[in-house]
Amino acid sequence: MTAQFPALALILLFPAIGVVFNIFVGPRAGRNAVNVAGTGVIFAAFAVGLWAFARLLAMPAGAALEVTLWPWIIADQFHTAIALRFDALSAVMTLVVSGVGAVIHLYSIGYMAHDEDYARYFAYMNLFALSMLVLVLADNLLLMFVGWEGVGLCSYLLIAFWYGNAQFAYNGRKAFVVNRVGDAGFILGILTMLSALAAHGVWTLNFAGLQAHAAMLAPVATMAGLLLLLGATGKSAQIPLYVWLPDAMVGPTPVSALIHAATMVTAGVYMIARLHFLYALTPDAMHVVAVIGGVTAFFAATVALVQSDIKRVLAYSTISQLGYMFMGVGAGAFAAGIFHLMTHAFFKGLLFLCAGSIIHALKGEQDMNRMGALWRRMPITYATMLAATLAICAVPGFSGYFSKDLILERTFEAGDEGLWLLGVITAGLTALYMFRLLFLTFHGTSRVAPDKHVHESPPVMTVPLIILGLLSVAGGWVELPPGWLWGGAFSRFLMPVLCRSRSQAAHGAAGGALGVVAMLATLTGFLLAYILYIQSPALPGRIAARASALYHLLVRKYYVDELYNLIFGRFLFWGSTNVLSRGVDSGLIDGIVDGAGLGVEAAGEVTRRSATGNVQVYAFVYLAGAVGIAAYYVYLVMVR
Amino acid sequence: MGGYWLTAVIFTPLLGALFVLAQPEERAAWRAGFIFSLIPLAISIYLFAAFDPAQAQYQFVEQYAWIPQFGISYHVGMDGISLFLVILTTVLFSLTLLYSGGGDIETRPRAFCFFMLLLEMGLLGALLAVDLFLFYVFWELMLIPMYFLIGIWGHGRRIYAAFKFILYTMLGSILMLVAILYLVSAARAHLGHLSFDLPALYGVPLSHRQATWLFAAFALAFAIKVPMWPLHTWLPDAHTEAPTAGSVILAGVMLKMGTYGFLRFAIPLFPEIAIEAAPLFLALAVVGIIYGALVAMVQPDLKRLIAYSSVSHLGFVMLGIFALDPQGMEGAIYQMLNHGISTGGLFLLVGMIYLRRHTREISEFGGLWRSVPIFAAVFMVVMLSSIGLPGLNGFVGEFLILLGTYLSKSLAAEIAVVGLILGALYMLYAYERVMFGPITKAVNETIRDLDAREVAVMAPLVVLMLFMGLYPRPLLRRMEPSVNALLGRVHAAQARLDRQPRHPHSLAALLDSTSVAAK
């Protein structure tokens, strides 16, 4: 059942107003106006989102709100429209994006309080919110792609926000180009699906239409699924396209929280869940999704163990957690993947905001070796960060516990014991690197430079911390084990949209046992972190010295950046410069052309000498030649 | 639909050119030239409004006998293919004339405006001519003013560039003229009289061998103009040495004469051969897309970079045309407009920065966002349009082209998609070196940002980019009937080809045998 709900357009209109205001009026209107407008529009979008959500709850399960704004690309039988669709899945995404987004916009007011370019900042942030909401509200794959590349653009603009730094600018471009590689896969995935449908005379990219004609997609499902997965690995920073995300951390920290942790990077997970009917046709592609997720989760967690930049640790942690989500959707547990996406938005957004609070207090310091013992001086930041850490480590009762546990359980049920084990080991690593981070920053001895006057952040920053802190604790309670209060309310809400074929297995006795194993891994990770970073802080250095090859491999992130650079950077530039530009273009083709030109010039030598070779003479030589030849053929063809 | 609208739109620039020459004072030429360019612009907007979107045939047709003994008539008409190219032409001419008066052209503005308006007449005439002889006259007519624009107001190696431009184009033109004359004489047997009238020449029975050679001659002339790889090397030189206005018109409109020529003449006149040659053209288009992008990436000069990006973009257009299906062809026409707007915009922006710094070397810049934020922001939007960001105009064309190509020849589309990645790479790479990073050259600290005139030049382009990206319907709707009519001809030819055994010497057979040999 669907109902028309034109007010959906307001969810997009408000951020759009923010963009226009901040570009054209903002710089002159002053900081307060920009703060109010830039943040207010996102709260307004969130409010409309809540309104739509209330409408949706009042409707029967599986219902959707819709509005068609205008026809878009139409050519012959192919037809798309700018149209929005608000079903349970979009509802979750919309509320997460606009809700967490609003909180982070609020935090930005404090974080960017000393930056002169606040209007440009809020313009970009509003544009991001707009694009992300287009992505999650689009009713067809092509409009989704508008949001998809739009968020990539904003990511680029915000990574390179402090454009005066050449390295930041490079990192921004790297993010965009790597994402474009994924986007090429996305486009080809769309084309693959469309050509399969067109063969049957169906020309639609509507999600509803695609689902209705899913049977026609069966022959291309694996191909399309893998191509779209390439797109997802770009946006969601999975192997092989994850390389841009750690470098994206040079942007302002609220950007890292919103775009590179809570929302944009989850777009790949959302897309796969949105196309669940396609992936349901192809166990092979599904398995690839799960394996990429599991391997990425583990791989990124190992790198996070040794990074000393606080945001880099969190970046690799994000990659690792996104890997869990891929594992979840890859196992067919779409709701579990989306559930983890939501709780992750709370706790990882919070972790970044806490990191931002620290960085703000330390005037830009990001190296954990120059932190320590901050908890007394930043109690709110510490308390909220502790909550987020417990959540990401899946401590029972905290939000991450419910979602991560569900993913691991579903992976085990799906028969992927190997992936499950990888997930459990990663859970241990997660506890290790997260408590390492917590201990290095807040505990132990202070290594802060003496000239830094550390202080707790202002309320405009701490209130968002507290809001997300509460959500990190309680955000998982929407999905309780069956029989507990409202039980799996979250999956019940999503299930009609995701309509998983597999039956919803309950958290049974096996589930309990699996959970205990994961918990033991987490506990081990915590104890290791305690021993290494509280009890005997000299130990990590000794281990690094002893296993220096492994340590360097991890610190240099397995040398993947270097490898990519060699192949796609150096080789491409060298070949283009020397082979194509100098060799083929200037050498071969122009050699022929100039040779021919010299011949003509030699023929025109007499004329040239008499007229000093100026422009007009060439013109007349050629015109005369042209007319002469034309006249000759006119004579040949017609007169004779 | 009667009236003299098309004659008016073609010849008001000529009147303007004469009017400009009559100006007693050099400086007055700018105002006169710009205001006169607004008349064809206004007429073309009227034509858009009055155009019947449901019709495939030529509209606003005028036909008068010109040289009746040779069957030559003044026959003009407009369909859904030429409509938007006419508007693109009139828009870009008004904007470049407005821009050029702002200091870009210092010497002899009267002569400059004269040649510009003459060029506009040539282009509009070639777009609207339905008579082959008339078309050829305009086709040649537009070369001469462009030659002078490059040769007189150009930069450094302008003589070499103008010479190369003429040499390349003439080579194709002469062959095309021969082909036109041969076609007309061959048609005499069928028609019973000489006729240069395009509709009359459709469907003239030709032997396979005749059609192949004629197609080849037309195709060569147009492929040089496009330019298709490997006939493109005149373009970077012409662009680099041309004044800004010359580059804008060259990229924005003149290159489209090549792709337009395929749509109007080469394909409908010889559809069988076009079908057979399609794999060849798709292959060259794909090579152009990748090659142009890779070479653009390593150019040290902004104008050369944009010139090579044109090779890549026009590769997409050719891809869409030779997909020979509605999505591809409509996408190709759309992309012709997109390229005119975005590349025209890029050349204008490069002109603006050249005016301030007298250099186009990328390494001379860096950190410009800090000193010229408006310029940088506009450049960003134009760049995004050029790389086909969804939501802006470029995406609509590229997507339709890829869709159309994928449906007919999926391999070509799969390779072409790589061009999208490279497009982002070379554009962002250049943008980063110009706008981002620290300011390394002291002169870049103090350059002034865009003035009101320059904003007025760029604003319409930016608005068009957004509008065409979000609401392409009014354009696509008007193209569709004409595209379908053209494809009807192609499909009929396909049916004929399917009925008869394949000619042993046909291009397709030749291509097949070479591909077999390659295996």
ipTM of the complex: 0.91
Across the interface, whether the CB atoms of B470 and A82 are under 8 A apart is answered: yes
Same domain, B262 and B274: no
Which among A148, A577, A596 has the least Cβ separation from residue B298? A577
Same domain, B283 and B191: no
Q: How many CB pairs under 8 A join A and B?
A: 191
By DSSP bridging, strand B72-78 and strand B59-67 are antiparallel
Which among B182, B391, B437 has the least Cβ separation from residue A166? B437
A473 touches chain B (CB under 8 A): no
- Residues from chain A that touch B70, judged by Cβ atoms under 8 A, are 638
A629 touches chain B (CB under 8 A): yes
Q: What is the pLDDT of residue A632?
A: 59
Q: How far is B39 from chain A (nearest CA, A)?
A: 30
First to last CA, chain B: 56
Which among B144, B152, B178 has the least Cβ separation from residue A633? B178
Distance CA A187, CA A170 (A): 25
| CB under 8 A, 24+ apart: contacts of A286-290 | A286/A225, A286/A330, A286/A331, A286/A332, A287/A330, A288/A226, A288/A229, A288/A330, A289/A225, A289/A229, A289/A232, A289/A326, A289/A329, A289/A330, A290/A326, A290/A327, A290/A329, A290/A330, A290/A331, A290/A411, A290/A414, A290/A416, A290/A419
Q: Please, which residues bridge with residue A557 across strands?
A: none
Same domain, B209 and B277: no
Distance CA B46, CA B78 (A): 13
Distance CA B135, CA B150 (A): 23
Same domain, B265 and B294: no
Same domain, B147 and B14: yes
B151 touches chain A (CB under 8 A): yes
Same domain, B125 and B235: yes
Distance CA A166, CA A171 (A): 9
**Cβ-count burial of B183 within 10 angstroms (0-12 exposed, 13-18 middle, 19+ buried)?**
buried
B391 touches chain A (CB under 8 A): yes
Rounded-to-5 percentages of helix, strand, coil across chain A: 75, 5, 20
Strand order in the sheet with A78-86: A2-4, A64-75, A78-86
* Residue A127, C-beta contacts closer than 8 angstroms, at least 6 positions apart: A15, A19, A150, A153, A154, A157
Q: Which helix (H) or strand (E) holds A566?
A: none
Same domain, B254 and B309: no
Residue A431 in contact with residue A522, Cβ under 8 Å?
yes
The length of chain B in residues reads 519
Residue A388 in contact with residue A354, Cβ under 8 Å?
yes
Same domain, B172 and B94: yes
- Residues from chain B that touch A149, judged by Cβ atoms under 8 A, are 389-391
pTM for the whole thing? 0.91
Same domain, B189 and B277: no
Number of domains making up chain B = 2
Q: How far is A634 from chain B (nearest CA, A)?
A: 7
Across the interface, whether the CB atoms of A593 and B230 are under 8 A apart is answered: no
Which has the closest alpha carbon to B212: B275, B135, B146? B275
**What string of pLDDT tens digits covers the 519 residues of chain B?**
468 999 999 999 999 988 888 888 888 888 888 999 999 999 999 999 999 999 888 999 898 888 888 888 899 999 999 999 999 999 999 999 999 988 888 888 888 899 999 999 999 999 999 999 999 999 988 888 888 888 888 888 888 888 888 888 888 888 899 999 999 988 888 888 888 989 888 878 888 888 999 999 999 999 999 889 888 888 888 888 889 999 999 999 999 999 999 999 999 999 999 999 999 999 999 999 999 999 999 999 999 999 999 999 999 999 999 999 999 999 999 999 999 999 999 999 999 999 999 889 999 998 899 999 999 999 999 999 999 999 999 999 999 999 999 998 889 999 999 999 999 999 999 999 999 999 988 888 889 999 999 999 999 999 999 999 999 999 999 999 999 999 999 998 888 888 876 655 555 555 555 544 443
Q: How far is A278 from chain B (nearest CA, A)?
A: 20
- Residues from chain A that touch B488, judged by Cβ atoms under 8 A, are none
A156 touches chain B (CB under 8 A): yes
ω into residue B227 within 30 of 0, thus cis?
Answer: yes
- pLDDT tens-digit series, residues B458-474: 999 999 999 999 999 99
Which has the closest alpha carbon to B450: B439, B437, B461? B461
pLDDT by 10-residue block (mean), chain A, 640 residues: 91 96 90 93 96 92 91 92 94 95 94 90 95 96 95 94 92 93 95 93 92 92 94 92 91 92 93 93 92 94 90 94 93 90 94 92 87 86 93 90 88 88 93 93 85 84 92 87 78 78 48 82 90 84 84 81 80 80 79 69 52 49 58 54
B449 touches chain A (CB under 8 A): no
Across the interface, whether the CB atoms of B470 and A576 are under 8 A apart is answered: no
Residue B265 in contact with residue B394, Cβ under 8 Å?
no
Across the interface, whether the CB atoms of B425 and A184 are under 8 A apart is answered: no
- Residue A7's CB is within 10 A of a number of other CB atoms, namely 15
**Has residue B390 been placed in a domain?**
yes
Which among A168, A177, A187 has the least Cβ separation from residue B417? A187
Same domain, B205 and B277: no
Q: Which helix (H) or strand (E) holds B76?
A: strand B72-78
**Has residue B504 been placed in a domain?**
no
**Has residue B490 been placed in a domain?**
no
A551 touches chain B (CB under 8 A): no
- Residue A447's CB is within 10 A of a number of other CB atoms, namely 13
- Residues from chain A that touch B291, judged by Cβ atoms under 8 A, are 580, 584
Name the domain boundary from B218, B240, B269: B269
Q: What is the pLDDT of residue A595?
A: 72
Across the interface, whether the CB atoms of A629 and B425 are under 8 A apart is answered: no
Across the interface, whether the CB atoms of A76 and B403 are under 8 A apart is answered: no
Which has the closest alpha carbon to A475: A406, A405, A397? A397
Q: Which two tokens stand for residue A535?
A: 């009890």
Listed in sequence order, the DSSP H helices in B25-157 are: 28-50, 82-99, 109-128, 132-141, 143-153
Q: Which two tokens stand for residue B297?
A: 């990436």
Across the interface, whether the CB atoms of A76 and B330 are under 8 A apart is answered: yes
Q: What is the dihedral of CA A9, A15, A20, A21, to 10 degrees?
A: 120
* Look-up of token digits 């970079």: B305
Q: How far is A145 from chain B (nearest CA, A)?
A: 7
**Has residue B187 been placed in a domain?**
yes
**B208-225 and B271-297 are packed helices; what angle lies between their axes, rounded to 10 degrees?**
30
Residue A86 three-state SS: strand
Q: What domain range is B277 assigned to?
A: 270-482
For B173, which residue in chain A has the nearest alpha carbon?
A: A626
Q: How many helices and strands in chain B, by DSSP H and E?
A: 23, 2
**Has residue B505 been placed in a domain?**
no
B162 touches chain A (CB under 8 A): yes
Cα separations in angstroms, B80 against A390, B316, B482: 64, 20, 5
Largest CA distance in chain B: 74
A579 touches chain B (CB under 8 A): no
Q: What is the pLDDT of residue A145?
A: 96
Residue A42 in contact with residue A18, Cβ under 8 Å?
yes
Residue A434 in contact with residue A522, Cβ under 8 Å?
no
- Residues from chain B that touch A142, judged by Cβ atoms under 8 A, are 390, 399
CB proximity under 8 Å: A 247-266 to B? none
- Residue A533's CB is within 10 A of a number of other CB atoms, namely 22
Name the domain boundary from B250, B269, B288: B269
Same domain, B169 and B87: yes
DSSP A308-341: -BHHHHHHHHHHHHHHHHHHHHHTT-HHHHHHHH
Q: What is the 3-state secondary structure (H, E, C) of B447-475?
A: CCCCCHHHHHHHHHHHHHHHHHHHCCHHH
Residue A107 in contact with residue A464, Cβ under 8 Å?
yes
Across the interface, whether the CB atoms of A638 and B185 are under 8 A apart is answered: yes
**Cβ-count burial of A159 within 10 angstroms (0-12 exposed, 13-18 middle, 19+ buried)?**
buried
Which has the closest alpha carbon to A214: A277, A268, A272? A277
Across the interface, whether the CB atoms of B369 and A163 are under 8 A apart is answered: yes
CB proximity under 8 Å: A 69-98 to B? 70-76, 78, 82
* Residue B152, C-beta contacts closer than 8 angstroms, at least 6 positions apart: A615, B107, B108, B111, B112, B158
Q: What is the pLDDT of residue B47?
A: 93
Q: Please, which residues bridge with residue A85 across strands?
A: A66
Name the domain boundary from B269, B288, B316: B269
**Has residue B160 been placed in a domain?**
yes
- Residues from chain B that touch A153, judged by Cβ atoms under 8 A, are 384, 389
Same domain, B243 and B338: no
Q: Which two tokens stand for residue A401?
A: 């516990």
Which among A70, A589, A626 has the least Cβ separation from residue B174? A626
Which among A149, A166, A622 has the least Cβ separation from residue B436? A166
DSSP B416-439: HHHHHHHHHHHHHHHHHHHHSS--
